Chain A
């Protein structure tokens, strides 16, 4: 029984590791400028965690194999080094591992959060609500019109509560249901929620940020690869959570201008 158990542990450990090693199911390809350190951090963590996982499962299995079903004359033995060795091992192995991960992790994190968006970043606003994202581009004047929450009406396709009759800034704002960004341009995404908590997650972009009602948050990123990606909500927001999504089109500058023209016509 013990040997079977040991073998089972070996097999499970190895089988578990195969899809990871083969990248059968793996992160989507990175299309951002800031994603490389995150991916690197992921690989390093995967290597360290994987080794820890395999090593400890193997040792566990081996010990179970070796030390069960003792013969009558067997004596118990104490692990050479005792508890002290274990505590040292934990502090040295895991401690340094953790420290290393932590320190390198700071770099990847800082890359995303501690640099302000460039001055020439393209501003885009995103509003989350049950259960769709809507995006707003400031138009030629470069400034977003004020939002009047009491005027928000999905029924009238006035998702942002814009008063285009009175607010000059709002007149040229373009509100869209799909997000398009020019490739290789930094985007400054300004986020707010009109109702409950939501989240903005684009796996390819290596961006995930919650919408916190009552707070304006922002992220910035640069997409480097033309294509159509999906934006999904990762914060439970109600019955339609699973279908709260939008498409992100990364377009060439010409296509982006054409797209903008088309959207403007739809206003």
Chain B
């Protein structure tokens, strides 16, 4: 009656109808592709919004033809109003952080490749997995629907600091229905990611095939596993915060709005709420969220690098420990977002130290990558270029963390473009580079065709140079005291900085346009690309030993693979060349760590 069937926990028959195959599919690979598609749509929208914002920042009174079509009141005469700028900014950030940086590297690639890399037929709870995507999709629709309510989307920034986010319409356009939709969307999104995390964790712990010990998981799988543990705790905290925020709006409770709030000369009917409560709850989620965006990227980049360096990492285990340490520390540092929030100055110092300490595991990760590059036989292709670009961006974005970790310097840099430059480089661009590296690397497996290398390289060069051209000047702006979230630079001391803003705008338009090359490449290669073999990169991990490319419905056909090695058997001499696949029983090397 029981106890015998669970080995097939993730197994289900191949679907036959179009809807079960491509829409409400239980197949983790289809769900992964769906997540990728959602992230792609979201990133294009988010990028488009950033273009509009950048144009406005460079040329404040510029009429952008057709802008009034996007908004009811936000662009009279096609000139952006202050509130519409903030609404675009909030939506850009929310879309990018939640629907791109969380979905693409983690949910999309993780869904597709984690079960294959551990050697499973599917995730253990395919129905939850399907729900996870569709719930996330609904969250996205709810968020986008706020563009169509009367006042437009919320203008409170992705951090949605209370009480601005909780007072209602009197706070400004979009602070009524817009915020409620935002909070609803994020709460729904949390549900989706919790379901996803549940699957990821159980897949990693329970679905590993014979011989696949934890230490034999490739680094990408480790990245997803660590991320899913973080997601489980972080999203479980954000959801209650969103529920309380919604209640402050629709039920008139006072969780976040203090007494004696006077807005537009009217006393607000709230009493005694705590504004710092929101900040604590939000950043307890918010800081791990940064690592949720970047750790999968680290895993993917390690995986891509190890394949293209043709040699193992200096230490597989140290990398795993370092990523784990990042995850653990990320919960202890969230207070560094609140140095000037009126927290007890002692707590600022208490939060400052783990923040500085977190640079140690980050440095270890970078040093291991660089040390591994030493003596490599590095292959240069689009995937490896983006992986190397990731390292460069991660360093550039990481060093500015030294500044922001210190409360005394934070006095000068808090809420300036320095912060914007920091997080765009380290979690925006770096994570995007991770996504790109993953795409160029895994596309052959996902679609059975190679991506165009020439276009890929054009894409890389434009993105690499462009990203530096955009985000390095952000740091200079921040040092000069340019405050973020300004739609125009009203203070006199910011006037001389406007030329630099114009330069950034041009760089952003150029770099953004280069991303269209990627989208073009993606679609053309999908249908017209050169056919890919099962293992085009001569890689070792399990996704390259599927019987067909793309993998069949149950990933490995009739038999699950047996794993004999760790995933970094490169630079050895074997019958296949300089690598031994995890499934190959051949004993070829001495550097097997596991």
B82 and A101 within 8 A (CB): no
B155 and A109 within 8 A (CB): no
**Chain B 530-563 per-residue mask, 1 if CB under 8 angstroms from chain A, else 0:** 0000000000000000000000000000000000
Pick the contact of B342: A42, A45, A217, A243 (CB < 8 A): A217
Q: Known contacts A68-B380, A105-B407; decide if A242 and B82 are in contact (CB<8 Å).
A: yes
Q: For B11, what are the chain A residues with a Cβ–Cβ distance below 8 Å?
A: none
Residue with the greatest number of chain B CB neighbours at <10 A, chosen from A129, A152, A194, A203: A203
B491 and A83 within 8 A (CB): no
**Chain A 103-121 per-residue mask, 1 if CB under 8 angstroms from chain B, else 0:** 0011011011110000000
Q: Known contacts A38-B412, A101-B402; decide if A25 and B356 are in contact (CB<8 Å).
A: no
Closest to A229 in B: B493
Interface residues of B in 351-408 (CB under 8 A from A): 352-353, 356-357, 359-361, 363-364, 366-368, 370-380, 385, 388, 391-392, 395-396, 399-400, 402-403, 405-408
Q: What is the minimal beta-carbon distance from A92 to any residue of chain B, in angstroms?
A: 10
Q: Known contacts A76-B376, A241-B485; decide if A64 and B388 are in contact (CB<8 Å).
A: yes
Asked if A143 is at the interface (CB within 8 A of a chain B CB), the reply is no
Q: For A64, what are the chain B residues with a Cβ–Cβ distance below 8 Å?
A: 373, 378, 388
Q: For A20, what are the chain B residues with a Cβ–Cβ distance below 8 Å?
A: 476, 479
Q: What is the minimal beta-carbon distance from B593 to any residue of chain A, in angstroms?
A: 10
A196 and B486 within 8 A (CB): no
Asked if A212 is at the interface (CB within 8 A of a chain B CB), the reply is yes
Stretch at the interface among B127-135, B166-174, B244-252, B285-293: B166-174
How far apart sit A59 and B370, CA to CA, in the bound complex (Å)?
8
A239 and B349 within 8 A (CB): no
**Chain B 189-201 per-residue mask, 1 if CB under 8 angstroms from chain A, else 0:** 0000000000000
How far apart sit A76 and B412, CA to CA, in the bound complex (Å)?
47
Q: For A254, what are the chain B residues with a Cβ–Cβ distance below 8 Å?
A: none
Interface residues of A in 110-159 (CB under 8 A from B): 111-114, 129-130, 149-150, 152-155
B407 and A94 within 8 A (CB): no
Closest to A85 in B: B371
Asked if B502 is at the interface (CB within 8 A of a chain A CB), the reply is no
How far apart sit A20 and B476, CA to CA, in the bound complex (Å)?
7
Pick the contact of A94: B276, B341, B360, B477 (CB < 8 A): B360
A98 and B483 within 8 A (CB): no
Q: What band does the interface of chain B fall in when counting residues whose beta carbon is under 8 Å from A? A: 35 or more
Q: What is the minimal beta-carbon distance from A26 to any residue of chain B, in angstroms?
A: 6
Interface residues of B in 325-361 (CB under 8 A from A): 340-342, 345, 348-349, 352-353, 356-357, 359-361
Asked if B488 is at the interface (CB within 8 A of a chain A CB), the reply is yes
Q: For B368, what are the chain A residues with a Cβ–Cβ distance below 8 Å?
A: 83, 86
Asked if A253 is at the interface (CB within 8 A of a chain B CB), the reply is no
**Chain A 157-171 per-residue mask, 1 if CB under 8 angstroms from chain B, else 0:** 000010000000000
Q: For A112, what are the chain B residues with a Cβ–Cβ distance below 8 Å?
A: 408, 411
Residue with the greatest number of chain A CB neighbours at <10 A, chosen from B349, B485, B491: B491
Stretch at the interface among A2-10, A175-183, A257-265: A2-10
Pick the contact of A150: B161, B267, B311, B361 (CB < 8 A): B267
Q: What is the minimal beta-carbon distance from A138 to any residue of chain B, in angstroms?
A: 21
B486 and A45 within 8 A (CB): no
Q: What is the minimal beta-carbon distance from A233 to any residue of chain B, in angstroms?
A: 8
Q: Known contacts A1-B380, A239-B82; decide if A149 and B490 are in contact (CB<8 Å).
A: no
Q: For B405, what are the chain A residues with a Cβ–Cβ distance below 8 Å?
A: 101
Q: Known contacts A12-B468, A79-B374; decide if A37 and B408 are in contact (CB<8 Å).
A: yes
Q: What band does the interface of chain A fall in when counting residues whose beta carbon is under 8 Å from B? A: 35 or more
**Chain B 204-222 per-residue mask, 1 if CB under 8 angstroms from chain A, else 0:** 0000000000000000000
Residue with the greatest number of chain B CB neighbours at <10 A, chosen from A85, A154, A195, A209: A195
Q: For A56, what are the chain B residues with a Cβ–Cβ distance below 8 Å?
A: 366, 370, 395
B487 and A109 within 8 A (CB): no
Asked if A69 is at the interface (CB within 8 A of a chain B CB), the reply is yes
Asked if B202 is at the interface (CB within 8 A of a chain A CB), the reply is no
How far apart sit A82 and B570, CA to CA, in the bound complex (Å)?
17
Q: What is the minimal beta-carbon distance from B124 to any residue of chain A, in angstroms?
A: 34
Stretch at the interface among B29-37, B229-237, B255-263: B255-263
Interface residues of B in 410-444 (CB under 8 A from A): 411-412, 414-416
B406 and A45 within 8 A (CB): yes
B262 and A49 within 8 A (CB): no
Asked if A184 is at the interface (CB within 8 A of a chain B CB), the reply is no
Q: For B486, what are the chain A residues with a Cβ–Cβ distance below 8 Å?
A: 241-242
Q: Known contacts A94-B360, A213-B261, A241-B485; decide if A102 and B406 are in contact (CB<8 Å).
A: yes
A82 and B315 within 8 A (CB): yes
Asked if B273 is at the interface (CB within 8 A of a chain A CB), the reply is yes
Q: Known contacts A2-B380, A20-B476; decide if A239 and B83 are in contact (CB<8 Å).
A: yes
Q: For A63, what are the chain B residues with a Cβ–Cβ distance below 8 Å?
A: 370, 373-374, 376
Asked if B492 is at the interface (CB within 8 A of a chain A CB), the reply is yes
B489 and A242 within 8 A (CB): yes
Asked if B529 is at the interface (CB within 8 A of a chain A CB), the reply is no
Pick the contact of B155: A1, A149, A207, A238 (CB < 8 A): A238
Interface residues of B in 8-38 (CB under 8 A from A): none
Q: What is the minimal beta-carbon distance from A50 to any residue of chain B, in angstroms?
A: 8
Q: For B412, what are the chain A residues with a Cβ–Cβ distance below 8 Å?
A: 27, 38, 42, 203, 206, 208
Closest to A100 in B: B356
How far apart sit A194 and B367, CA to CA, in the bound complex (Å)?
50
A67 and B376 within 8 A (CB): yes
How far apart sit A87 and B156, CA to CA, in the bound complex (Å)?
42
Pick the contact of B411: A206, A212, A217 (CB < 8 A): A206
Q: Known contacts A28-B493, A105-B409; decide if A213 and B163 are in contact (CB<8 Å).
A: yes
Asked if B459 is at the interface (CB within 8 A of a chain A CB), the reply is no
B262 and A149 within 8 A (CB): yes
Q: For B378, what are the chain A residues with a Cβ–Cβ distance below 8 Å?
A: 2, 64, 67-70
Residue with the greatest number of chain A CB neighbours at <10 A, chosen from B167, B349, B405, B411: B411
Interface residues of B in 263-289 (CB under 8 A from A): 263-265, 267, 272-276
B311 and A236 within 8 A (CB): no
Q: What is the minimal beta-carbon distance from A94 to any residue of chain B, in angstroms?
A: 5
Asked if A220 is at the interface (CB within 8 A of a chain B CB), the reply is no
Q: For B472, what are the chain A residues with a Cβ–Cβ distance below 8 Å?
A: 12, 16
Q: For B95, what are the chain A residues with a Cβ–Cβ distance below 8 Å?
A: none
B340 and A25 within 8 A (CB): no
Closest to A65 in B: B378
How far apart sit A93 and B486, CA to CA, in the bound complex (Å)?
38
Residue with the greatest number of chain A CB neighbours at <10 A, chosen from B162, B264, B340, B341: B340
Asked if B79 is at the interface (CB within 8 A of a chain A CB), the reply is no
Q: Known contacts A76-B310, A154-B265, A242-B489; decide if A91 and B380 are in contact (CB<8 Å).
A: no
Interface residues of A in 9-57 (CB under 8 A from B): 9, 12, 16, 19-20, 24-28, 37-38, 41-42, 45-46, 48-50, 52-53, 56-57
B314 and A86 within 8 A (CB): yes
In the assembled complex, 11 residue pairs joining A and B whose CB atoms fall closer than 8 Å, in A order, are: A12-B468, A16-B396, A46-B403, A50-B399, A78-B311, A94-B359, A101-B402, A105-B408, A194-B262, A234-B483, A239-B83
10 closest A-B pairs (Cβ-Cβ)? Answer: A77-B375, A214-B258, A83-B315, A108-B408, A113-B345, A234-B415, A203-B481, A242-B486, A70-B377, A25-B476
Q: Give B residues with C-beta under 8 Å from A.
A: 81-83, 86, 155-157, 159, 161-164, 167, 171-173, 175, 257-265, 267, 272-276, 309-311, 313-315, 318, 340-342, 345, 348-349, 352-353, 356-357, 359-361, 363-364, 366-368, 370-380, 385, 388, 391-392, 395-396, 399-400, 402-403, 405-409, 411-412, 414-416, 457, 461, 464-465, 468, 472, 476-477, 479-481, 483-493, 497, 500, 570-571
> Told that A45-B402, A86-B364, A199-B340 touch, could you supply 8 new A-B pairs with CB distance under 8 A?
A25-B497, A26-B479, A27-B481, A38-B411, A56-B395, A213-B258, A245-B490, A245-B491
